[in-house]
A and B are shown apart, each in its own frame.
Chain A
Amino acid sequence: MYRILVCEDEKSIADALEIYLTNEGYEVLRAENGIEALETIKKEELHLILMDIMMPKMDGIKATMRIREEKNIPIIILSAKGEDYDKVLGLNVGADDYVTKPFNPLELLARVKSQLRRYTNLGGIAEKTTDNMVRTGGLEIDLSTHEVFVDGEQKKLTPVEFGILSFLAQNAGRVYSIHQIYEAVWNEPSVNTENTVSVHIRRIREKIEINAKEPKYVKVVWGVGYKVEKI
């Protein structure tokens, strides 16, 4: 039974979140602002925090910073602020994920699950580690068994998709153009094959990302190519 703290000043949203989370079998604790959240964290044992940003007394960014000073509980920021720099700020101060309002309840729940899985199964994953394992963030690629795990959950990829993903993940952080990817994966010169790669990439994203439109692992660098984020 995981315990989740919902830190949200808007009561209706907090209620809705509680309903969803309770339905999924989590125990929900609530706080109306950052200070309350900090107090609760001191008293209770928690597994995850859903944090709003714009709250009275102490905002979500400050609270996250404070929490991170002591604990490494997964924090998902849930905010109406959807600008890029808001997201970057949130993730930089220590949040593990950023979901914008209005959110898709299913997506949110998926992200919650994913975070919990990572948080609780961390030791197990570590055990599995071998030389043929490529890992970035919650993405794990076993090169010997051709298996792909996202936050511990296995994803089924076609051989081409696996080739592309493993190629990018092995060189995480580096941007590869469509041509380079094609030549590396298909092992033959690329002539008018651009669409193939980008379609494959989209499919990979749909399989491994929670929200394909806001990918966490496989990212597009527009006009240049693709890369797997080094996390």
Chain B
Amino acid sequence: MDTKWKKFSRSLAVRVILNGLMIGCILIEMMLCLKIYDTEKKIDKTYTYKHADDFYGNTALQTDIIDAWEELFEFVIASNCQAKDSANAKEQERKLENAIGKFQYQLTMKDGNGKDKTISNCVNTSHDLNTFPIYNLYKGYLNGDTYIKDWTNYYVDSYTEKYEKDKGYAYMDEDFTNFTWLDINSIINGLCQENQAYSQYVAENIVENIQVYKDTIKECLYYFYYDDSNSNDKTITNNILKKLYSSMDKSFISTFKNRIADEYLEDKEYLTYDKTTGLVYSDDTECYYYMSQDNSIKCYDELTPKTRSRLEKEMDEQDKKQEPLTKEEKNTLIETISKAIYIGDNGLDSDAQILIPIAAVLGTPEEYTMYIGVDDALYQATQAVYMDQYSVTKEKADIIEKQERTYIFTLLGVLVFLGLVVLALLYVCGRKEGTEEIQYLAIDAWYTEIQVIFIILGIIAGIACMAMVADAFSYNPLLFSKENVLIVLMALALTAIILIEFLCSIVRKIKGGILFRQSILGRMLSVGQEKLYYGKTSKRIMFFYLVVGGAWLFFEYVGMCLSVYDSEHWLLIFMQLILVFLLASTAIFLHRYLHQWDQIRNGVKRIKAGEINYQIPTNDSKKLLNLFAKDINSLSEGLENAVDEMLKSEKLKTELISNVSHDIKTPLTSIITYVDLIKKEDVQPDKVKEYVEVLDQKSQRLKTLTDDLFEAAKATSGVMKMEATQIDLGSLVNQAIGEFSEKLEKSDLNVRNNIESDSFYVMADGKLTWRIMENLLGNVSKYALTGSRVYIDATDTGNMISLTIKNISNTELNISSEELMERFTRGDQSRNTEGSGLGLNIAQSLAALQGGEFHVEIDGDLFKAMLELPKAKTDII
């Protein structure tokens, strides 16, 4: 079972099928998306508003109600702000009548007992508001929260956010927090009546006593003063401001600065307000700005002391001057406040900041209630038309929506199936029938991080792409043709397939246990391991630099981040100081280190050059290089001892050879001389003469033998001194032949010397080389076949010069060349003739002593002696 399952799950067919399924699923998903897009497009949005029983389709009625509401609002304000019989109020009333026409309205106010008291209702008095309770009026339209909310959706930036069902009215809240109706009558009436004292009181009340209002009124005044192009006489506003507010006022300063910034393109950051002169100074352009009488901003390039004192005096006077507002100024103030109240309605380009608190001046919410009523008949008549249209389109939309839902469910189902397929794919990937080893594909060679980044980027790109499409679609569905959508979807499908393949690759790597090894980090660490962790000292230094450098970089980064807010942050400066310190200490460290290093290098060089008792200067510190230098010193001490030892033993050896030689030679001298003396005597009988002859011969031979023996001993023991110079091999051979000419002629040997002088130069000791030649030519003259030819040649073998002497032996050479080279061996096996049998051996030792080689070859009767000597570097003497 298990093996069967294994065989099945690892078969190629399963993998191919799963991959096919995966791709198929994704394509199906995309096709479904396209379908959903299609159906979505078909639904007519115009008729899809929420519920059938509201009046959303009935836009005409809706607009009328909104208009009426606005007019009512304005009327209330106008009728309260101005004298009832003023032209403006009349105008407002007329407008209201026009707008409200088909509706009814009611404005109620709570009295002291908490009872609603109608303060105004339809101008058309035929409508008795009391007989039109609000719920009746709004029956069918004002259907709870929905109405208010949706209405605000349509009336952009509307007044209201809240609708209190039980109270039946809406009021400003949240953003328009304090837009309320408190004391509107008293304040506004006071302001608007021609009662100066009261106006003054209100103005002061607003300006000074009511903290909340103060800033608002002020800002409103400034706003009008600076920005309202309609303001015909700014001088008055300026005077009001000067009278009411100190020149130190924050709002004034900030408004002033804003204006400068706008008009002169200054950066507000560089502007500073001087309270003594009332000037604004710019650090950037080095100008002094001031506000002239005509309300324009001007600037001095330079501030003379005279001007300064004048300005200071003015400012001082202005602050002291607490003149009451003139009539004209009061009017303007009231006008301004009134205007502020209208701002929202007039759609002036202002921000709520000014508007809202101005509204707050007007009182608290609960006191006033404003109603708008719609006639049932009117509603029925208008609504019926829209409802008909609506129901038809809604039916269509319902069918399409149902279809869309089906698509969506299918899409989800396929998505689940796709998930299962992907899981199965992850399970089987990397496996192959008949082997436990993970099978890798080319894609697996990619580093893990890159794959992960690809996956993340792919997902982000997919989501972003879809979000963008959805967003764009909601703005303008026409922008996206079916073809466009198809292309986007195909791209998404391709991305999804690639991502799944990447996922499979990562899973394969996990299965094979190479996820980390095949990552950039893993590679870096495995490289680092070899390079970083190989010495205690290097580890320590690396650790130091990692910690210090890391900490430094961290703080430097923090400092840089902070310096964004503060252009010269102390941390950054501090870190720079630390950097300087670090660099300096590194330099000092390096200097010391390198100095010591140089000392060691110099010392080692001197020791190498033979000055073995040289001591590198050291101290007592435990520093690395110091210890190293000490080690080298002790090493050179050891070396010195060894060399001394060697010299001593060599001296002993030399002395030994010399002494033994002396001790042998002394008795030999006696023997030879006395034999000679005997020879000179006329000894009888003749037999004795023969004996003496033998003694003479043998003593001479003993002499030769001793000489050669010591020569050989010296050559092999290394006692012999060698002085290599550049010598001409050709000349040397000629000289040697010259020395031997007599002996060679005696043996009737024809020497063919093929070495020309000045053609081969060797680095050798002339005397030692002569000794070799002497032995070789001696052998030739002794053992070569009489009347034969002797050939001497030389060849260049690269680093060596090879000299060859060939001759024909006069007796059969029945021993090997190796035996011939041994001491006391002679080719003829007879020891009767002169010679010690050491010649070739000595030649070999001497050749080795000069860094060369010597060997002989025997080919039948052909005797070949070969001498190799190091070639001289240049051929020019």
Interface assignment of A208: CB less than 8 Å from any CB of chain B: no
Contact A102 B741 (CB under 8 A): no
Residues of chain A contacted by B63 (CB below 8 angstroms): none
Contact A198 B703, beta carbon cutoff 8 Å? no
Spot the interface stretch: A80-88, A133-141, A146-154. Answer: A80-88
B692-719 near A? 1/0 per residue, CB < 8 Å: 0000000000010001000000000000
Collect the chain A residues with CB atoms within 8 Å of residue B728's CB.
177, 223-224
Interface 9-residue window, one of A9-17, A37-45, A60-68: A9-17
- CB contacts (< 8 Å) of A210 on chain B: these are none
Query: Is the beta-carbon distance between A194 and B731 smaller than 8 angstroms?
Result: yes
Cβ of B735 under 8 Å from chain A? yes
Q: Would A222 and B670 count as touching, CB distance under 8 A?
A: no
The 5 sampled A-B contact pairs (Cβ below 8 Å) are A20-B673, A83-B658, A102-B703, A103-B669, A198-B738
**Interface: A220 (CB within 8 A):** yes
A80-B669, A83-B658 known; A198+B739 contact, CB < 8 A: yes
Are B666 and A201 closer than 8 Å at their CB atoms? Answer: no
Q: Verify A16–B734 contact, CB threshold 8 A.
A: no
Q: Which residues of A are interface residues toward B (Cβ below 8 A)?
A: 10, 12-13, 16-17, 19-20, 54, 80-83, 101-103, 105, 177-179, 194-195, 197-199, 201-202, 220-226
Interface membership of chain B positions 286-307, coded 1 if the CB is closer than 8 angstroms to chain A and 0 otherwise: 0000000000000000000000
Would you give the shortest CB distance from B26 to chain A, in whole angstroms?
Answer: 93
Among B108-116, B254-262, B421-429, B766-774, the stretch in contact with A: B766-774
Give the shortest distance, in Å, between B673 (CB) and chain A (any CB). 4
Complex interface: chain B residues within 8 A of A54 (CB): 662
Q: Say yes or no: B665 contacts A195, CB within 8 Å.
A: no
Interface residues on B, range: 35 or more
Q: Which residues of A contact B729 (CB under 8 A)?
A: 223
With A198-B734, A222-B727 in contact, do A80 and B666 touch (Cβ < 8 Å)? yes
Query: In chain B between 723 and 741, which residues have their CB closer than 8 angstroms to a CB of chain A?
Result: 725, 727-732, 734-735, 737-739, 741
CB-based contact B739/A222 at 8 Å: no
* Contact present for A101 and B739 (CB under 8 Å): no
Asked if A198 and B666 sit within 8 Å, CB to CB, the answer is: no
B665 with A80: CB separation less than 8 A: yes
A12→B674 contact, CB < 8 A: yes
A10 vs B769: C-alpha distance in the bound complex, in angstroms? 36
Closest 8 CB pairs between A and B?
Answer: A198-B738, A223-B727, A222-B766, A194-B734, A223-B732, A80-B665, A102-B669, A16-B673
B164 CB to closest chain A CB, in angstroms? 130
A164 to B648: give the CA distance in the assembly, Å: 47
In this complex, the member of A105, A201, A221, A223 whose beta carbon has the largest number of chain B beta carbons within 10 angstroms is: A223
With the chains together, A173 CA to B73 CA distance in Å?
A: 140
Question: Using Cβ atoms and an 8 Å threshold, which residues of chain A touch B766?
Answer: 221-224
Flag if A102 contacts B770 (CB, 8 Å): no
Are B731 and A12 closer than 8 Å at their CB atoms? no
Instruction: Give the A-binding residues of B (Cβ under 8 A).
Output: 658, 661-662, 665-666, 668-674, 676-677, 703, 707, 725, 727-732, 734-735, 737-739, 741-742, 753, 757, 762, 764, 766-767, 769-770
Most buried by B among A12, A198, A226: A198
Shortest B748–chain A CB gap in Å is 16
Residue of B nearest to A206 (CB): B742
Q: Contact check, B770 vs A222: say whether CB atoms are below 8 A apart.
A: yes
Other-chain residue from B665, B668, B676, B738 in contact with A201 (beta carbon distance below 8 A): B738
- Report the minimal beta-carbon distance from A157 to chain B, rounded to whole angstroms: 17
Q: Nearest chain B CB to A203's CB is how many angstroms away?
A: 9
Partner of B731, one of A20, A201, A202, A223: A223
Query: What is the distance, in angstroms, from A179's C-beta to the closest C-beta of chain B?
Result: 7
Smallest Cβ distance from A208 to chain B, in angstroms? Answer: 16
Complex Cα gap A74–B764 (Å): 37
Instruction: Take A102-B669, A223-B769 as given contacts and tell me if A177 and B738 are in contact as well, using a CB distance cutoff of 8 Å.
Output: no
B670 touches A16 (CB 8 A): yes
Closest chain A residue, CB of each to CB of B741: A199
Closest to B714 in A: A83
B669 touches A177 (CB 8 A): no
Collect the chain A residues with CB atoms within 8 Å of residue B731's CB. Answer: 177-178, 194, 223-225
Q: Which of B669, B707, B735, B762 has the most C-beta atoms of chain A within 10 angstroms of its own C-beta?
A: B735
Q: In the complex, are the beta carbons of B742 and A202 less than 8 A apart?
A: yes
Task: Give the distance in Å from the alpha carbon of A80 to the alpha carbon of B657 in the complex.
Answer: 12
Smallest beta-carbon distance A134→chain B, Å: 23
Interface residue from B662, B732, B739, B767 paired with A202 (Cβ < 8 Å): B739
Q: How far is the CA of A177 from the CA of B671 in the complex (A)?
A: 42
B705 smallest CB distance to A (angstroms)? 12
Query: Which chain B residues lie closer than 8 Å to A81 at the CB level?
Result: 658, 661-662
